[in-house]
Structure 1
Amino acid sequence: MLKDKLSTEISKIFKNYLKEKYNLELLVFAEEPPNLKFGDICFSFPLKISRDLKEKPFEIAKKISNELSDLFFPHKLFPASPGYINIFFDKNYFVNSLKDFEEEKERKKEKIIVEHTNINPNKAAHIGHLRNAILGDTIVNFYRHLNYNVEVHNYIDNTGVQVADVVLGLLYLEKKGLEFLDIEKLDYYTWDLYSKVSKIIEEDKSYLNLRNEILKKIEEGIEPEKSYAKKLSERMMLCHLKTMERLDIKYDVLPKESEILNSKLWDKTFSLLKEKKAILFEEEGKRKGCWVLPLKGKEEFKTEEEPDKILVRSNGTVTYTGKDIAYQLWKFGILKASFGFKPFYKYKDGKIVYESTSEKSENDFPFGNGDLVINVIDIRQSYLQKVVKEALKLLGYDKESENSIHFSYEMVVLSEKLAKQMGFEELKISGRKGVGIKADDFIDSLIE
C-alpha cells in the first residue's frame, strides 16, 4: 500500500543519514503512533542512539528533523518528547499517487487478498465490527477500481474461546438442545448470554477449567461439543453476512479455523517450523512443555516485556497465532491445503460466498495464492501481526513477509453521554462485557 511504501522509503533515508552522518549501522523502521494526533508514522531511533552520541534523545530528534525537513517536503517532521520523530504525510501526495495508479492500472496483474470483518461467531455484530468491515470494503473497492484481482476473506474463528463460552452457557448451564439454535435472533440472545458467562467465569474459576475442556473437545472433534459449536458458528455466520449485506459489503470466501486443524494445514506448518528450526521446545520454566517462536533480541520486539510467542501450549492445543501463521502461509500459496470449498450463502444479487470444508471439492477453486495480503485488524493486534510477519521471515519467506500488510485502526469508543444513556459504566466497546451498540440496531437507527 502507499503508506507502507512511503514508510519504507523514509526508513531508508534515515538509515543512510545515520550511516553517513554518524557512522552508525542501525535497523530503522516506522512505528504506528498510539494516536493519530501524533502523526501518521513515527520513529524512535533517537532513543537508541543517544548514548552513542552523548546527547539527549529529544535534542537528537530535533536536530535531525530540522536538517531533513527540506528533504522530506511536502511531508512534515516534528520532534517529540522523549525522543521521537513524528511524521505527518501530505494528503495531496496520496491524491497524486492515486492519479498515477489510474494511468498504470492496466498493468496490474498481481492478486491481492484482503481479509476483514472476522467477527467471532458467538454473538451479534456491533459497531466496532462495522468499522472494520467498512475499512476493509473500502480497500477492496479501491484496488478493484485499479483493476487488481482482489479476493475478499472473512476468517471465521469457529473453534475459539468465545464460541466455547457460548457452548458452555447453552449446553451446560441452560441445558439447551441443538434445536434451540434454530430460534430467530439467536445472535441477540447469545449477545446477553456471552457477557453472562464471562462474568460467571470471572467469579468462579472452576468454570474456566470447564471452558478449557470444552475448547479442547471442539478442537479434537468430540461430541456433542463439536456439532453444537459447528451449528452455532454457522448460524452466527449467516447473521453476520446478512448484517453486512445491508451495507453492500460482500465476501468471496469464509475460511474457517476448524479447517486449519482438520485439514492438517497446521500439522504441515508445525513440521515446517521445526524443520527450519524456527521454534523451540521449552523444557523448563513457566513455559515448560510449550513450543515457542523465539523473538527476544529482534529489533521490532525490543519494547516487548515477553517477546517470545507460544504457538503450541503444554496441553497440545494450538494458539491463535499458530493458526494465523498457517493461514498466512496458505494465503500466499506457500502451503497447499487439503480442504475444499462449498457454497454457503447466495447474496441477493446472485453472488455466492463459499466456506471452507474438510471435504475436498470436485471443482478446483482459485482461492489463496496471493501476491499481497492485507489484514484489516485493530491496533491491539499489532504485536501478533508482527509475529506472523516475523515467522514468515524466519522460515525464509522474506518477500511474503514484506508483502504481509497489517492495516490497523483505532477502537470505537462510546461518548460519555451515549454510554450514560445506555446505562454503560465503560466507554470502550466490549462484547465480553455486553458493552456496545449492535450493528443492526445502528443501521436501523440510520434508516429511521
Structure 2
Amino acid sequence: MEIGQILQQTIKDIVKTYDGDVQVEIEQPAQLAHGDYATNIAMKLARVAKKNPYEIALDLKEKLVEKELPVKQIDVVRPGFINFFIAWDRVNFFSSTTKQVDKQKVVIEHTSINPNKSAHIGHLRNACIGDTLARMMKQDHQEVETHNYIDDLGNQLADTLTALLHTESNKPATRFGDYCWDVYSSLNQLYDKGELSTDKRDDVLHKLEEGNNSISWLGYAVADKLSAEHVEEMGQFDITYDLLVWERDIVANGFWDRAFEKLQTSEVFFKQEHGPQAGCWVIRTNEKQEASEESVEHQADKVLIRSNGVLTYTVKDIAYHMWKFGLLENDFLYKPKTETLWTTSAVGQSQPFGRGDAVINVIDYRQEYPQKVVKQALHAAGYEKEAAQLKHVSYGVVSLSKNTAAKLGLETVEGKAVYAMSGRKGIGIKISELILEMKEAIRVQSPEANEETIEALTFAAIRYNMLRYNTTSDIIFDLDEATQVTGNTGIYLIYTYARANSILQKAQAAHLTSTDGSFADADDAERAILKHVSGWNGTFERSISELEPNLLCTFAFELASLYNRFYALCPVIKATPDEQKRRLKLTELVKEQLEMIFSILGLPKLERI
C-alpha cells in the first residue's frame, strides 16, 4: 500500500465516528511548502458536524499523531487543510508492487498478423502493447501465456497465393515477405481494374478450407515462412511468444463441433428460418440494429454459419476462446518451433497450454464488434465467469506524419498532414524500413554513439513511441520526434538512466557511498523525486486495472524530468559529505526505479552512451 493509501485509510478509520458518508480524498500539493500530501476532509466534515473546520482539523491532527504513520510533521492550515510532511527514511519504496491477490493464469493473444506479407508499423504497435501487458502481468506475479494466432485459412492468405500464382514483381526483395508485399499490392490493382476476377481468390480460399490438396499445402508453406519472418522481426524488439496457434488446427481438431453443441442449448443461438438470413445459424447480440452502412456487417443477429454451411471467422474465434478458457474437451497437439516457442500441429505431443483464468486480446478497434460477439457466445453457453474475464484491449491505428511519409518515399500533397497506410495499395512502412531509417536518424542525433548503442537506441526509440500514447489513441508517427534526446522519448529515458549510472560509477571511483544517507534534510528537488517514486505502486496498480501501458511511460518520463532537474540544481560528487550520501542514495533509488520500469516496457539498460 502506498503512502497516500495509508493516509487515506487511517483518516477513514478516524472519521467513522462522524455521522454521514464523507469521501476522504488525499492529494499531492503542487507546492512542496504545502506538504507532500494533504486533505480537505475537515471542511467536508464541517458541513456534517456543524463545527468550525479548523477545530475539526486540529482534533484530527491529535488523533493522527497517535498513529504509527511515516510522517515527520502534520500542519493544520486555515480554513481546515491538513498537510503531511513525510519521513522519507521510514518509507520502503519497493515493498510491494500490487495488492495481494490470488495468482491466476492469464492468456494474452497479440500480434496475430495475417500471414500474407511483411509486417508494418501498425502490426508493431499491437506487438509492443501485447508484450508489455505480458510483462506487466508477470510483474504482478501472474502466470502468463502468450499466443500469436495465425489465420492461415483467410482471404488475405488466399489473395497472396493468388498473387504468387498470377502475378510477378521485378522489384528487388531480400525477404519473402517483401516480395509478397509487392505482388499482393499488384493483385489488388488488377482486381480494381477488372483485369482479374476475385473468383480466382475464392477458388484458392475454398482449396485452403478443404485441405490436403496442392493449394492448401502451398498455403501452409507460405504462411509458415511469413509467420517465421514476423516472429524473427518482433524478436529484435525483445518480443516473444509461448505458442503459435494455427487456424487450420482449430478446424481439424473439431473445436467448433463441440462449441456448437454447447451453444445449441442457448435461446440466443438458432437457425434463421425466414428473411435474408434464412438457413443461417445466428447468435443474438442484444444490440440494436441501426439503419446505416454498417448495419449489414453488424447485424443484431450475427451470422456464425452461412446457409451453405461455411463457417465465418467469428465461429472459429468462439471455439478458440472456449479452448483458451479450458471449456472444451478437445485439445491441440504441439511441437517445439524453437527452444522457447511451441506451435500447434497435426502431429505432436500434449502440453498444458490454454486453461486460462483470464484472457486478454490485443486487437485494433475495428474488431470491437466481433470481440463482443465472442463474449456474447460465452454468455450464451452459460460461461458467465469466463465472459467477464475476457478483455479486449483496443488500440488506434498508426499513420505517418507528412515529414516522415516524405522521408520514406511516399508521395505527399499540400495541405495533407497525416498519411494512412493501406496494404492493398502497398502504402505503408515495413518494420524493416523503419529500423533502417531510425538507425540513420539516431546516428545524426548521437554522432558519438557506437553501432551497438545505436542499435539499442533504435529499438528503444521505436518501442517506446508505440507505447507512450493511450492505447485507444491513433498515432501519427514522426521519425524526428521519436529520435529526440529530450522530451517524452525512449532515448531521453535511457540517457537519464545512463546519467544516474555515471554518477554512481564516479562515486565508486572516488570511494564515496550512500551508507548512512538520510532523506531527513532533503531539499525541494529531492523531495519532488521521493514523492513521485512513492506513487509507483498506485500507478502500477492502475496500469494493471486499466490495461494501459502508457501510464508507466508517463510515470517514467516524469521521473526522468525530475531527476534531470535535480541534476542541474544539486551537485552530488562535489557536495558536502551528508549531501553526498543523501544524493547518492537518491540516485540509487532512481536507477532502481528506472530499471524496474525498463524491464516492464522492454527497454535496454544502457549504463553508458
AA aligned to 1:143 is M
Q: Distance in 1 between matches of 2:287 and 2:256?
A: 25
Which stretch of structure 1 is more off in the superposition, 201-210 or 246-255?
201-210
Q: Paired residue for 2:395?
A: 409
Q: Which residue of 2 aligns with 1:270?
A: 260
Distance 2:309 2:406 in 1: 44
Residue identity in the other structure for 1:393? H
Q: CA deviation at 1:279?
A: 2.0
Which 5+ residue runs of structure 2 have no aligned equivalent? 1-92, 413-417, 441-609
2:144 partner SS: strand
Shift of 1:301: 9.1
One-letter code aligned to 1:352: T
Q: Structure 2: how far apart are the matches of 1:408 and 1:312? A: 26
- CA RMSD after TM alignment: 2.6
Q: Is the 8 A contact 2:269 2:380 kept in 1?
A: no
- Secondary structure at the residue paired with 1:142? helix
> Any conservation in 2 of the 1:101–1:146 contact (CA below 8 Å)?
no
Bigger shift: 127-136 or 218-227?
218-227
Q: Does residue 1:353 correspond to 2:353, yes or no? A: no
Q: CA deviation at 1:383?
A: 1.1
**Which residue number in structure 2 is paired with residue 156 of structure 1?**
150
Corresponding residue of 2:321:
328
Q: Note if contact 1:108-1:146 (Cα within 8 Å) is conserved in structure 2.
A: no
The 3-state SS of whatever aligns with 2:108 is strand
Among candidates 120, 123, 140, match of residue 126 of structure 1: 120
Relative to structure 1, is the Cα distance of residues 250 and 384 closer, same or farther in structure 2, using a 3 angstrom cutoff? same
The structure 2 residue matched to 1:445, chosen from 432, 437, 440, is: 437
Which residue of 2 is the match for residue 69 of structure 1? none
Q: More deviation in 436-445 or 278-287? A: 278-287
Corresponding residue of 1:285 = 275
How far off its partner does 1:108 sit? 3.8
- Which of 187, 191, 194 is matched with 2:177 structurally? 187
Deviations for 1:406-433, whole angstroms, at most 9, x for unmatched residues?
A: 0111100112333355335782222122
Out of 369, 380, 396, the residue aligned to residue 382 of structure 2 is 396
Partner of 1:141: 135
Q: In the alignment, is the contact (CA less than 8 A) between 2:253 and 2:330 conserved in 1?
A: yes
* C-alpha distance in structure 2 between counterparts of 1:278 and 1:301, whole Å: 20
Among 292, 303, 309, the alignment partner of 1:310 is 303
Contact 2:323 2:331 in 1 (8 A): no
Q: More displaced, 325-334 or 413-422?
A: 413-422
Bigger mean CA offset, 283-292 vs 185-194: 283-292
The 1-side partners of 2:196 and 2:183 are apart by: 18
SS at match of 1:255: strand
2:424 corresponds to: 432
**Superposed displacement of residue 323, structure 1:** 0.9
- What does residue 204 of structure 1 align with? 194
Where does residue 113 of structure 1 map in the other structure? 107
Aligned position for 2:410: 423
**TM-score, structure 2 as length reference:** 0.52
Residues 259 and 356 in structure 1, CA contact (< 8 A), matched pair in contact too: yes
Bigger Cα displacement from structure 2, 116-125 vs 283-292: 283-292
Equivalent residue for 2:231?
241
Q: CA deviation at 1:392?
A: 0.7
**1-side partners of 2:108 and 2:378: how far apart?**
18
Q: How many Å separate the matches in 2 of 1:291 and 1:271?
A: 13
* 1:45 match: none
Match of 1:342 among 335, 342, 349: 335
Alignment deviations for residues 86-131 of structure 1 (CA, whole Å, 9 cap, x no partner): xxxxxxxxxxxx98972545x5420001110010011000000110
- Give the conservation status (yes or no) of the 8 Å contact 1:116–1:154: yes
Matches of 1:301 and 1:273, distance apart in 2: 26
Distance in structure 2 (CA, Å) of the matches to 1:208 and 1:338: 35
Specify the SS of the correspondent of 2:398: coil
Q: What one-letter code is carried by the residue in structure 2 that aligns with 1:272?
A: K
Q: When the two structures are superposed, what TM-score results if normalisation uses the length of structure 1?
A: 0.70
CA-CA distance at 1:196 after TM superposition: 1.5
Query: Structure 2: how far apart are the matches of 1:184 and 1:214?
Result: 26
1:391 shift after superposition: 1.1
Provide the rounded CA distance (Å) in 1 between the counterparts of 2:435 and 2:110: 19
Give the Å deviation of 1:397. Answer: 0.7
Q: 3-state SS of the aligned residue for 2:322?
A: helix
Which secondary structure state, in structure 1, belongs to the residue aligned with residue 330 of structure 2? Answer: coil
Please, which of 97, 102, 112 is the counterpart of residue 102 of structure 1? 97
The answer as to whether partners of 2:208 and 2:216 remain within 8 angstroms in 1 is: yes
Q: Distance in 2 between matches of 1:382 and 1:371?
A: 22
Query: Which ranges of structure 1 fall in alignment gaps of 5 or more residues?
Result: 1-97, 177-182
The match for 2:535 is none
Q: Secondary structure at the match of 2:351?
A: coil
- Secondary structure of residue in 1 paired with 2:264: helix
SS of equivalent to 2:150: coil
Task: State the structure with more CA Rg.
Answer: 2
For 2:254, the aligned partner's letter is K
SS of the aligned residue for 1:207 comes to coil
Q: What does residue range 73-88 of structure 1 map to in structure 2 within 5 Å?
A: none
3-state SS, counterpart of residue 438 of structure 2: helix
Distance in 2 (CA, whole Å) between partners of 1:299 and 1:405 is: 22
- What letter matches 2:336 in structure 1? P
Matched, 1:169 2:163: yes
Matched residue type, 1:438: K
Sequence identity (%): 39
| Cα distance change on mapping 1:370 and 1:302 into 2, 3 Å | farther
1:316 and 1:258 mapped to 2: Cα distance? 17
Residue aligning to 1:26 = none
Query: Does the 8 A contact of 1:379 with 1:409 survive in 2?
Result: yes
Q: Which moved more, 1:426-435 or 1:301-310?
A: 301-310
SS of corresponding position for 1:114? strand
2-structure distance, mates of 1:173, 1:274: 45
Contact conserved, 1:108 with 1:147, CA < 8 A, in 2?
no
> Size of the alignment, in residue pairs?
335
Distance 1:204 1:337, change over 3 A: farther
CA shift in 2, pair 1:377/1:101, >3 Å? farther
Distance 1:315 1:402 in 2: 33
Quick check: 114-123 or 426-435, which moved more? 426-435
Residue number in structure 2 paired with 1:52 = none
Please give the secondary structure, in 2, of the residue aligned with 1:310: strand
Opposite residue 386 of structure 2, the aligned amino acid is E
